[in-house]
Structure 1
Amino acid sequence: MPCPVDVILPCLDEAQALPGVLAALPEGFRPIVVDNGSTDGTPQVAAALGATVLHEPRRGYGAAVHTGLEGATADVVAFLDADGSLDPGALPAMVALLDVDGPAADLVVGRRVPAGRGAWPWHARAGNVVIAALLRRRGVPVHDIAPIRVARRAALLDLGIADRAFGYPLELLLRAGGAGWRLTEVDVGYRPRTGGRSKVSGSVRGTLRAARDMASVLR
Protein backbone atom coordinates (compact mmCIF):
# COMPACT_ATOMS: atom_id res chain seq x y z
CA MET A 1 0.00 0.00 0.00
CA PRO A 2 1.37 3.49 -0.84
CA CYS A 3 2.47 5.71 2.02
CA PRO A 4 -0.39 7.70 3.56
CA VAL A 5 -0.97 11.35 2.75
CA ASP A 6 -2.29 13.80 5.33
CA VAL A 7 -4.95 16.13 3.92
CA ILE A 8 -5.18 19.45 5.76
CA LEU A 9 -8.67 20.94 5.69
CA PRO A 10 -8.98 24.42 7.25
CA CYS A 11 -12.57 24.86 8.43
CA LEU A 12 -14.81 27.67 9.55
CA ASP A 13 -18.45 26.56 9.72
CA GLU A 14 -18.28 23.75 7.16
CA ALA A 15 -20.50 21.18 8.92
CA GLN A 16 -22.79 20.96 5.89
CA ALA A 17 -20.05 20.30 3.35
CA LEU A 18 -17.67 18.14 5.40
CA PRO A 19 -19.49 14.78 5.16
CA GLY A 20 -19.33 14.84 1.36
CA VAL A 21 -15.72 16.01 1.30
CA LEU A 22 -14.52 13.38 3.78
CA ALA A 23 -16.46 10.61 2.04
CA ALA A 24 -14.77 11.50 -1.26
CA LEU A 25 -11.21 11.26 0.07
CA PRO A 26 -9.39 8.34 -1.61
CA GLU A 27 -8.01 5.47 0.44
CA GLY A 28 -4.79 6.38 2.20
CA PHE A 29 -5.61 10.10 2.35
CA ARG A 30 -6.06 10.95 6.03
CA PRO A 31 -8.11 14.04 6.89
CA ILE A 32 -6.86 16.60 9.39
CA VAL A 33 -9.64 19.10 10.04
CA VAL A 34 -8.38 22.33 11.57
CA ASP A 35 -11.27 24.15 13.17
CA ASN A 36 -10.85 27.92 13.09
CA GLY A 37 -13.63 28.90 15.47
CA SER A 38 -16.73 27.25 14.01
CA THR A 39 -20.10 27.67 15.70
CA ASP A 40 -22.06 25.13 13.61
CA GLY A 41 -20.64 21.90 15.08
CA THR A 42 -17.91 21.45 12.44
CA PRO A 43 -15.38 19.80 14.80
CA GLN A 44 -17.99 17.40 16.18
CA VAL A 45 -19.07 16.38 12.66
CA ALA A 46 -15.43 15.86 11.65
CA ALA A 47 -14.62 13.76 14.71
CA ALA A 48 -17.72 11.61 14.24
CA LEU A 49 -16.60 10.87 10.68
CA GLY A 50 -13.15 9.75 11.80
CA ALA A 51 -11.07 12.83 11.00
CA THR A 52 -8.28 14.07 13.20
CA VAL A 53 -9.46 17.41 14.60
CA LEU A 54 -7.14 20.25 15.59
CA HIS A 55 -8.17 23.64 16.92
CA GLU A 56 -6.63 26.96 15.93
CA PRO A 57 -8.14 29.90 17.85
CA ARG A 58 -6.33 32.58 15.81
CA ARG A 59 -8.63 33.48 12.95
CA GLY A 60 -7.00 33.29 9.54
CA TYR A 61 -6.55 30.87 6.67
CA GLY A 62 -2.78 30.76 7.13
CA ALA A 63 -3.08 30.13 10.86
CA ALA A 64 -5.37 27.16 10.25
CA VAL A 65 -3.39 25.52 7.47
CA HIS A 66 -0.07 26.00 9.27
CA THR A 67 -1.45 24.38 12.42
CA GLY A 68 -2.49 21.45 10.25
CA LEU A 69 0.96 21.28 8.67
CA GLU A 70 2.63 21.24 12.08
CA GLY A 71 0.22 18.56 13.31
CA ALA A 72 0.60 16.27 10.29
CA THR A 73 2.84 13.21 10.47
CA ALA A 74 2.90 11.96 6.87
CA ASP A 75 5.86 12.68 4.60
CA VAL A 76 3.50 14.09 1.94
CA VAL A 77 0.71 16.53 2.74
CA ALA A 78 -2.13 18.04 0.75
CA PHE A 79 -4.12 21.22 1.33
CA LEU A 80 -7.78 21.24 0.35
CA ASP A 81 -10.71 23.56 1.00
CA ALA A 82 -13.48 21.85 2.96
CA ASP A 83 -16.42 23.52 1.22
CA GLY A 84 -16.99 20.90 -1.48
CA SER A 85 -15.79 23.11 -4.33
CA LEU A 86 -12.82 20.87 -5.17
CA ASP A 87 -12.89 17.13 -5.82
CA PRO A 88 -10.61 15.17 -3.44
CA GLY A 89 -10.38 12.60 -6.23
CA ALA A 90 -7.84 14.88 -7.92
CA LEU A 91 -5.30 14.33 -5.14
CA PRO A 92 -3.78 10.93 -6.08
CA ALA A 93 -2.72 12.15 -9.53
CA MET A 94 -1.23 15.28 -7.96
CA VAL A 95 0.74 13.22 -5.42
CA ALA A 96 2.01 10.98 -8.21
CA LEU A 97 3.67 13.99 -9.85
CA LEU A 98 6.02 14.28 -6.88
CA ASP A 99 7.62 10.97 -7.86
CA VAL A 100 7.48 10.77 -11.67
CA ASP A 101 10.43 9.53 -13.71
CA GLY A 102 12.83 12.34 -14.56
CA PRO A 103 12.65 15.70 -12.80
CA ALA A 104 9.92 15.30 -10.21
CA ALA A 105 7.87 18.20 -8.91
CA ASP A 106 8.53 19.67 -5.48
CA LEU A 107 5.14 21.37 -5.38
CA VAL A 108 1.98 20.47 -7.31
CA VAL A 109 -0.75 23.11 -7.39
CA GLY A 110 -4.21 23.21 -8.89
CA ARG A 111 -5.43 25.50 -11.64
CA ARG A 112 -9.17 25.87 -11.21
CA VAL A 113 -11.50 25.18 -14.13
CA PRO A 114 -15.06 26.34 -13.31
CA ALA A 115 -17.55 23.48 -13.57
CA GLY A 116 -20.79 25.30 -12.93
CA ARG A 117 -22.43 28.70 -12.82
CA GLY A 118 -21.52 30.66 -9.73
CA ALA A 119 -18.46 28.54 -8.97
CA TRP A 120 -16.07 31.45 -9.35
CA PRO A 121 -17.50 34.99 -9.03
CA TRP A 122 -16.07 37.63 -11.37
CA HIS A 123 -14.44 39.66 -8.61
CA ALA A 124 -12.58 36.66 -7.21
CA ARG A 125 -11.43 35.55 -10.67
CA ALA A 126 -10.25 39.06 -11.57
CA GLY A 127 -8.21 39.37 -8.39
CA ASN A 128 -6.70 35.95 -8.98
CA VAL A 129 -5.66 36.87 -12.53
CA VAL A 130 -3.82 39.97 -11.32
CA ILE A 131 -2.00 38.20 -8.49
CA ALA A 132 -1.01 35.25 -10.70
CA ALA A 133 0.36 37.64 -13.35
CA LEU A 134 2.50 39.35 -10.71
CA LEU A 135 3.82 35.96 -9.59
CA ARG A 136 4.78 35.00 -13.14
CA ARG A 137 6.70 38.28 -13.43
CA ARG A 138 8.68 37.10 -10.41
CA GLY A 139 9.43 33.76 -12.05
CA VAL A 140 6.76 31.62 -10.39
CA PRO A 141 4.96 29.82 -13.27
CA VAL A 142 1.35 29.72 -12.04
CA HIS A 143 -1.98 30.95 -13.35
CA ASP A 144 -4.01 30.45 -10.17
CA ILE A 145 -3.65 30.78 -6.41
CA ALA A 146 -5.78 27.68 -5.91
CA PRO A 147 -6.54 26.20 -2.46
CA ILE A 148 -5.40 22.71 -3.48
CA ARG A 149 -1.70 21.88 -3.20
CA VAL A 150 0.56 18.86 -2.60
CA ALA A 151 4.15 18.82 -1.33
CA ARG A 152 6.43 17.21 1.22
CA ARG A 153 5.79 18.29 4.79
CA ALA A 154 9.40 18.81 5.90
CA ALA A 155 10.21 20.94 2.87
CA LEU A 156 7.15 23.13 3.47
CA LEU A 157 8.13 23.71 7.09
CA ASP A 158 11.66 24.62 5.98
CA LEU A 159 10.26 27.45 3.82
CA GLY A 160 9.48 29.39 7.00
CA ILE A 161 6.15 30.84 5.86
CA ALA A 162 5.19 33.65 8.22
CA ASP A 163 1.80 34.91 6.98
CA ARG A 164 -1.17 33.62 8.96
CA ALA A 165 -3.96 35.24 6.95
CA PHE A 166 -5.03 34.96 3.30
CA GLY A 167 -1.51 35.76 2.11
CA TYR A 168 -0.29 32.31 3.17
CA PRO A 169 -0.65 30.54 -0.21
CA LEU A 170 0.96 33.47 -2.01
CA GLU A 171 3.92 33.52 0.36
CA LEU A 172 4.24 29.76 -0.08
CA LEU A 173 4.53 30.17 -3.85
CA LEU A 174 6.98 33.07 -3.59
CA ARG A 175 9.22 31.24 -1.14
CA ALA A 176 9.06 28.02 -3.15
CA GLY A 177 10.03 29.92 -6.30
CA GLY A 178 12.86 31.68 -4.48
CA ALA A 179 14.13 28.33 -3.22
CA GLY A 180 14.27 26.92 -6.75
CA TRP A 181 11.46 24.42 -6.27
CA ARG A 182 10.19 22.58 -9.34
CA LEU A 183 6.52 23.50 -9.62
CA THR A 184 3.82 21.73 -11.61
CA GLU A 185 0.34 23.16 -12.22
CA VAL A 186 -2.59 20.88 -13.09
CA ASP A 187 -6.19 21.59 -14.05
CA VAL A 188 -8.77 20.78 -11.38
CA GLY A 189 -12.54 21.12 -11.58
CA TYR A 190 -14.02 23.92 -9.51
CA ARG A 191 -17.65 23.59 -8.44
CA PRO A 192 -20.07 25.79 -6.53
CA ARG A 193 -19.44 25.29 -2.82
CA THR A 194 -21.79 23.16 -0.72
CA GLY A 195 -24.12 25.42 1.25
CA GLY A 196 -23.69 29.04 2.17
CA ARG A 197 -21.32 31.58 0.67
CA SER A 198 -17.54 31.51 0.60
CA LYS A 199 -15.90 33.61 3.31
CA VAL A 200 -13.40 34.86 0.72
CA SER A 201 -14.71 34.77 -2.84
CA GLY A 202 -18.39 34.91 -1.94
CA SER A 203 -18.39 38.69 -1.67
CA VAL A 204 -16.49 41.66 -3.03
CA ARG A 205 -15.58 42.56 0.55
CA GLY A 206 -14.10 39.12 1.18
CA THR A 207 -12.15 39.25 -2.07
CA LEU A 208 -10.76 42.68 -1.21
CA ARG A 209 -9.69 41.43 2.23
CA ALA A 210 -7.82 38.54 0.64
CA ALA A 211 -6.27 40.88 -1.95
CA ARG A 212 -5.10 43.16 0.86
CA ASP A 213 -3.38 40.27 2.63
CA MET A 214 -1.74 39.12 -0.60
CA ALA A 215 -0.61 42.62 -1.49
CA SER A 216 1.15 42.90 1.86
CA VAL A 217 3.05 39.69 1.06
CA LEU A 218 4.06 41.01 -2.37
CA ARG A 219 5.37 44.21 -0.78
Structure 2
Amino acid sequence: MIDLVLPCLNEAAALPWVLDRLPEGVRAVVVDNGSTDGSAGIAAGLGATVISCELRGYGAACHAGLEAATAPVVAFLDADASLDARQLVRVTAPVIAGRADLVLGRRRPVTRDAWPWHLRLANAELARRIRRRTGVRLHDLGPMRAARREALLELALTDRRSGYPLETVVKAADAGWRIDEVEVDYLPRSGRSKVTGTPLGAVRAVKDMTKVLSA
Protein backbone atom coordinates (compact mmCIF):
# COMPACT_ATOMS: atom_id res chain seq x y z
CA MET A 1 0.00 0.00 0.00
CA ILE A 2 1.15 3.53 -0.86
CA ASP A 3 -0.37 6.73 0.49
CA LEU A 4 -0.52 9.56 -2.02
CA VAL A 5 -0.68 13.02 -0.44
CA LEU A 6 -2.55 15.54 -2.55
CA PRO A 7 -2.36 19.12 -1.21
CA CYS A 8 -5.54 20.79 -2.37
CA LEU A 9 -6.76 24.37 -2.63
CA ASN A 10 -9.77 24.83 -4.88
CA GLU A 11 -9.14 21.96 -7.28
CA ALA A 12 -12.76 20.83 -7.75
CA ALA A 13 -12.41 20.75 -11.53
CA ALA A 14 -9.24 18.64 -11.56
CA LEU A 15 -9.83 16.18 -8.71
CA PRO A 16 -12.13 13.72 -10.55
CA TRP A 17 -9.54 13.23 -13.32
CA VAL A 18 -6.67 12.90 -10.86
CA LEU A 19 -8.39 10.45 -8.51
CA ASP A 20 -9.72 8.32 -11.36
CA ARG A 21 -6.15 7.56 -12.45
CA LEU A 22 -4.72 6.21 -9.20
CA PRO A 23 -2.77 2.96 -9.64
CA GLU A 24 -3.92 -0.12 -7.77
CA GLY A 25 -2.72 -0.16 -4.17
CA VAL A 26 -2.58 3.62 -3.84
CA ARG A 27 -4.73 5.45 -1.29
CA ALA A 28 -5.39 9.14 -1.88
CA VAL A 29 -4.98 11.45 1.11
CA VAL A 30 -6.42 14.79 0.03
CA VAL A 31 -5.37 17.65 2.29
CA ASP A 32 -7.88 20.46 2.02
CA ASN A 33 -6.05 23.73 2.62
CA GLY A 34 -9.03 26.07 2.81
CA SER A 35 -10.93 25.32 -0.39
CA THR A 36 -14.14 27.21 -1.03
CA ASP A 37 -15.24 25.32 -4.17
CA GLY A 38 -16.34 22.06 -2.60
CA SER A 39 -13.08 20.23 -3.27
CA ALA A 40 -13.21 18.33 0.02
CA GLY A 41 -16.69 16.99 -0.63
CA ILE A 42 -15.81 15.96 -4.17
CA ALA A 43 -12.69 14.13 -3.01
CA ALA A 44 -14.57 12.32 -0.24
CA GLY A 45 -17.33 11.34 -2.67
CA LEU A 46 -14.71 9.78 -4.93
CA GLY A 47 -13.34 7.63 -2.11
CA ALA A 48 -10.34 9.67 -1.00
CA THR A 49 -9.37 10.12 2.62
CA VAL A 50 -9.81 13.85 3.29
CA ILE A 51 -8.19 15.82 6.07
CA SER A 52 -8.23 19.53 6.76
CA CYS A 53 -5.16 21.72 7.23
CA GLU A 54 -6.03 25.13 8.64
CA LEU A 55 -2.51 26.54 8.31
CA ARG A 56 -2.30 27.86 4.76
CA GLY A 57 0.73 26.91 2.71
CA TYR A 58 1.92 24.19 0.37
CA GLY A 59 4.38 22.80 2.89
CA ALA A 60 1.79 22.87 5.65
CA ALA A 61 -0.59 20.78 3.54
CA CYS A 62 2.14 18.35 2.48
CA HIS A 63 3.32 17.81 6.03
CA ALA A 64 -0.20 17.38 7.38
CA GLY A 65 -0.70 14.67 4.78
CA LEU A 66 2.58 13.01 5.68
CA GLU A 67 1.58 12.91 9.34
CA ALA A 68 -1.86 11.53 8.48
CA ALA A 69 -0.44 8.84 6.19
CA THR A 70 -0.05 5.29 7.50
CA ALA A 71 1.51 3.42 4.56
CA PRO A 72 5.26 2.63 4.62
CA VAL A 73 5.81 4.55 1.38
CA VAL A 74 4.36 8.02 0.85
CA ALA A 75 4.16 9.89 -2.43
CA PHE A 76 3.20 13.48 -3.18
CA LEU A 77 1.38 14.87 -6.18
CA ASP A 78 -0.25 18.19 -7.04
CA ALA A 79 -4.03 17.95 -7.38
CA ASP A 80 -4.19 20.25 -10.42
CA ALA A 81 -4.06 17.54 -13.14
CA SER A 82 -0.63 18.68 -14.33
CA LEU A 83 0.78 15.19 -13.67
CA ASP A 84 -0.74 11.82 -14.48
CA ALA A 85 -1.21 9.68 -11.38
CA ARG A 86 -0.93 6.56 -13.56
CA GLN A 87 2.78 7.35 -13.88
CA LEU A 88 3.23 7.36 -10.11
CA VAL A 89 4.66 3.82 -10.27
CA ARG A 90 7.71 5.21 -12.04
CA VAL A 91 8.50 7.22 -8.91
CA THR A 92 7.52 4.71 -6.23
CA ALA A 93 9.06 1.57 -7.75
CA PRO A 94 12.72 2.45 -6.98
CA VAL A 95 11.79 3.26 -3.37
CA ILE A 96 9.84 0.05 -2.90
CA ALA A 97 12.65 -1.98 -4.47
CA GLY A 98 15.22 -0.35 -2.20
CA ARG A 99 17.21 1.19 -5.07
CA ALA A 100 16.64 4.77 -3.90
CA ASP A 101 15.55 6.61 -0.77
CA LEU A 102 13.95 9.61 -2.48
CA VAL A 103 12.74 9.72 -6.07
CA LEU A 104 11.46 12.79 -7.90
CA GLY A 105 9.56 12.98 -11.17
CA ARG A 106 11.49 14.97 -13.76
CA ARG A 107 8.84 16.85 -15.71
CA ARG A 108 8.77 16.53 -19.49
CA PRO A 109 6.17 18.95 -20.95
CA VAL A 110 3.87 17.34 -23.50
CA THR A 111 3.00 20.72 -25.05
CA ARG A 112 4.74 24.07 -25.23
CA ASP A 113 2.06 25.65 -23.05
CA ALA A 114 2.43 23.11 -20.25
CA TRP A 115 5.57 24.75 -18.85
CA PRO A 116 6.16 28.45 -19.66
CA TRP A 117 9.74 29.29 -20.56
CA HIS A 118 10.30 31.64 -17.61
CA LEU A 119 9.28 28.97 -15.10
CA ARG A 120 11.43 26.40 -16.87
CA LEU A 121 14.40 28.74 -16.72
CA ALA A 122 13.82 29.42 -13.02
CA ASN A 123 13.63 25.68 -12.36
CA ALA A 124 16.91 25.07 -14.20
CA GLU A 125 18.61 27.70 -12.07
CA LEU A 126 17.18 26.12 -8.93
CA ALA A 127 18.49 22.70 -10.01
CA ARG A 128 21.93 24.25 -10.55
CA ARG A 129 21.88 25.73 -7.04
CA ILE A 130 20.79 22.39 -5.58
CA ARG A 131 23.77 20.69 -7.24
CA ARG A 132 26.11 23.35 -5.89
CA ARG A 133 24.66 23.10 -2.37
CA THR A 134 24.28 19.31 -2.09
CA GLY A 135 26.22 17.67 -4.92
CA VAL A 136 23.03 15.93 -6.06
CA ARG A 137 22.57 16.18 -9.83
CA LEU A 138 18.89 16.85 -10.31
CA HIS A 139 17.31 18.49 -13.34
CA ASP A 140 13.96 19.34 -11.80
CA LEU A 141 12.38 19.94 -8.40
CA GLY A 142 9.09 18.44 -9.49
CA PRO A 143 6.00 18.02 -7.29
CA MET A 144 5.76 14.24 -7.85
CA ARG A 145 8.04 12.49 -5.37
CA ALA A 146 8.16 9.45 -3.10
CA ALA A 147 10.04 8.17 -0.07
CA ARG A 148 9.51 6.05 3.04
CA ARG A 149 7.22 7.70 5.56
CA GLU A 150 9.26 7.13 8.72
CA ALA A 151 12.45 8.37 7.05
CA LEU A 152 10.68 11.53 5.88
CA LEU A 153 9.41 12.22 9.37
CA GLU A 154 12.94 11.80 10.74
CA LEU A 155 14.12 14.64 8.47
CA ALA A 156 12.15 17.01 10.75
CA LEU A 157 11.10 19.33 7.93
CA THR A 158 10.11 22.80 9.12
CA ASP A 159 9.21 24.80 6.00
CA ARG A 160 5.46 25.18 5.66
CA ARG A 161 5.33 27.18 2.45
CA SER A 162 6.74 26.65 -1.05
CA GLY A 163 10.22 25.73 0.18
CA TYR A 164 9.02 22.34 1.47
CA PRO A 165 10.05 20.23 -1.57
CA LEU A 166 13.46 21.90 -1.66
CA GLU A 167 14.00 21.36 2.06
CA THR A 168 13.14 17.70 1.54
CA VAL A 169 15.91 17.33 -1.04
CA VAL A 170 18.49 19.35 0.92
CA LYS A 171 17.94 17.53 4.21
CA ALA A 172 17.79 14.16 2.47
CA ALA A 173 21.11 14.88 0.76
CA ASP A 174 22.67 16.01 4.02
CA ALA A 175 21.49 12.74 5.59
CA GLY A 176 23.21 10.71 2.88
CA TRP A 177 20.06 9.54 1.09
CA ARG A 178 20.22 8.02 -2.37
CA ILE A 179 18.28 10.53 -4.48
CA ASP A 180 17.17 9.81 -8.03
CA GLU A 181 14.78 11.16 -10.65
CA VAL A 182 12.67 9.59 -13.39
CA GLU A 183 10.87 11.21 -16.30
CA VAL A 184 7.12 11.91 -16.08
CA ASP A 185 4.77 13.72 -18.44
CA TYR A 186 3.92 17.33 -17.59
CA LEU A 187 0.48 18.47 -18.75
CA PRO A 188 -1.19 21.88 -18.88
CA ARG A 189 -2.50 22.39 -15.36
CA SER A 190 -6.09 23.06 -14.41
CA GLY A 191 -6.39 26.68 -13.25
CA ARG A 192 -3.64 29.00 -12.09
CA SER A 193 -0.75 27.90 -9.89
CA LYS A 194 -1.17 28.78 -6.21
CA VAL A 195 2.63 29.19 -5.89
CA THR A 196 3.89 30.83 -9.09
CA GLY A 197 0.64 31.86 -10.76
CA THR A 198 0.88 35.46 -9.52
CA PRO A 199 3.83 37.87 -9.19
CA LEU A 200 3.44 37.88 -5.39
CA GLY A 201 3.35 34.10 -5.29
CA ALA A 202 6.50 33.88 -7.40
CA VAL A 203 8.32 36.34 -5.13
CA ARG A 204 7.30 34.36 -2.05
CA ALA A 205 8.49 31.13 -3.65
CA VAL A 206 11.90 32.61 -4.43
CA LYS A 207 12.23 33.90 -0.86
CA ASP A 208 11.20 30.56 0.63
CA MET A 209 13.68 28.61 -1.48
CA THR A 210 16.50 31.07 -0.96
CA LYS A 211 15.98 30.71 2.78
CA VAL A 212 16.22 26.92 2.55
CA LEU A 213 19.41 27.01 0.46
CA SER A 214 20.99 29.52 2.82
CA ALA A 215 20.25 27.51 5.96
Give the TM-score, by structure 2 length: 0.95
Residues 1:161 and 2:157 aligned together: yes
The question of whether the paired residues in 2 share the 8 Å contact of 1:121 and 1:201 is answered with: no
Q: Which amino acid aligns with 2:102?
A: L
The question of whether the paired residues in 2 share the 8 Å contact of 1:11 and 1:34 is answered with: yes
Quote the Cα distance in structure 1 between the aligned partners of 2:167 and 2:55.
19
Q: Give 1:122 shift.
A: 2.3
Quote the Cα distance in structure 1 between the aligned partners of 2:28 and 2:181.
23
* Matching residue within 67, 72, 82 for 2:69: 72
Query: What is the aligned partner in structure 2 of residue 189 from structure 1?
Result: 185
* Matching residue within 95, 98, 104 for 1:98: 95
Quote the Cα distance in structure 2 between the aligned partners of 1:61 and 1:95.
21
The question of whether the paired residues in 2 share the 8 Å contact of 1:36 and 1:55 is answered with: yes
Residue by residue over 1:149-184, the C-alpha shift from the partner in whole angstroms, topping out at 9 and shown as x without a partner, is: 011000000001100000000000000000000011
Q: Give 1:208 shift.
A: 2.4
* Matching residue within 33, 40, 48 for 1:51: 48
Q: Give 1:216 shift.
A: 1.1
SS of 1:84's partner is: coil
Residues 1:198 and 2:193 aligned together: yes
The question of whether the paired residues in 2 share the 8 Å contact of 1:112 and 1:187 is answered with: yes
Residue by residue over 1:54-103, the C-alpha shift from the partner in whole angstroms, topping out at 9 and shown as x without a partner, is: 10011100000000000000000100000000011111132211244xx7
Q: Which amino acid aligns with 1:182?
A: R
Give the TM-score, by structure 1 length: 0.94
The question of whether the paired residues in 1 share the 8 Å contact of 2:90 and 2:182 is answered with: no
Quote the Cα distance in structure 2 between the aligned partners of 1:124 and 1:117.
12
* Matching residue within 65, 81, 87 for 1:84: 81
Structure 1 spans left out of the alignment, 5+ residues: none
Residues 1:207 and 2:202 aligned together: yes
Query: What is the aligned partner in structure 2 of residue 134 from structure 1?
Result: 129
Could you say what the CA RMSD is over the residues aligned between the two structures, in angstroms?
1.2
Quote the Cα distance in structure 1 between the aligned partners of 2:145 and 2:91.
8
Q: Give 1:201 shift.
A: 3.1
Query: What is the aligned partner in structure 2 of residue 176 from structure 1?
Result: 172
The question of whether the paired residues in 2 share the 8 Å contact of 1:9 and 1:81 is answered with: yes
Query: What is the aligned partner in structure 1 of residue 60 from structure 2?
Result: 63
Q: What percent identity do the matched residue pairs reach? A: 58
Q: Give 1:143 shift.
A: 1.1
